């Protein structure tokens, strides 16, 4: 009985050694920067009477790109990455009182750390007051 136990231990050890000594072959894949980055901005309450919005200062953004895995928004010096891979950023509040111009930059991230950026300028009305 003890001999059979020792044979199993040796056999098990040999199998573990055989399977653990395989060479790992990792591949990263093609590195391709995102292309055709497009940002759309929907100013909440914008119509013919209110061309700069309803005064809430809210803007809905959507970024799209080919080969993008995530997006980063840059609003007036503030970075926001909470939109994830969908590229949608809803209800960003532009809170400077009055009609203000903003430049919004979106960086689309691709594989291997590659990225592409684009920007748009928007004008938004906010009747924000403390």
Digit-coded pLDDT (tens) for 42-74: 999 999 999 998 988 888 889 999 999 888 888
Cα–Cα dist 55/62, whole Å: 21
Using one digit for the tens of pLDDT, what is the confidence trace for 89-124? 777 777 778 898 988 899 999 988 899 999 999 999
Question: What is the enclosing helix (H) or strand (E) of 59?
Answer: strand 58-66
Whole-number pLDDT of residue 20: 67
Checking if the pLDDT of 35 tops 80, the result is yes
Does pTM surpass 0.75? no
Whole-number pLDDT of residue 118: 93
| CA geometry: angle 107, 84, 113, nearest 5 deg | 45
Alpha helices in the chain (DSSP H): 2-20
């Amino acid at each position: 009985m003890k001999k059979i136990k020792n044979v199993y231990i040796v056999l098990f050890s040999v199998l573990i050694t055989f399977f653990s000594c395989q060479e790992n072959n990792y591949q990263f894949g093609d590195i391709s920067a995102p292309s055709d980055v497009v940002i759309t901005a929907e100013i909440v309450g914008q119509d013919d009477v209110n061309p700069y919005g309803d005064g809430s200062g809210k803007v809905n953004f959507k970024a799209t790109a080919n080969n993008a895995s995530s997006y980063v928004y840059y609003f007036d010096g503030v970075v926001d990455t909470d939109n994830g891979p969908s590229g949608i950023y809803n209800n960003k509040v532009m809170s400077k009182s009055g009609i203000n111009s903003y430049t919004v930059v979106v960086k689309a991230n691709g594989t291997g750390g590659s990225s592409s950026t684009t920007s748009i300028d928007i004008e938004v009305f906010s009747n924000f007051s403390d």
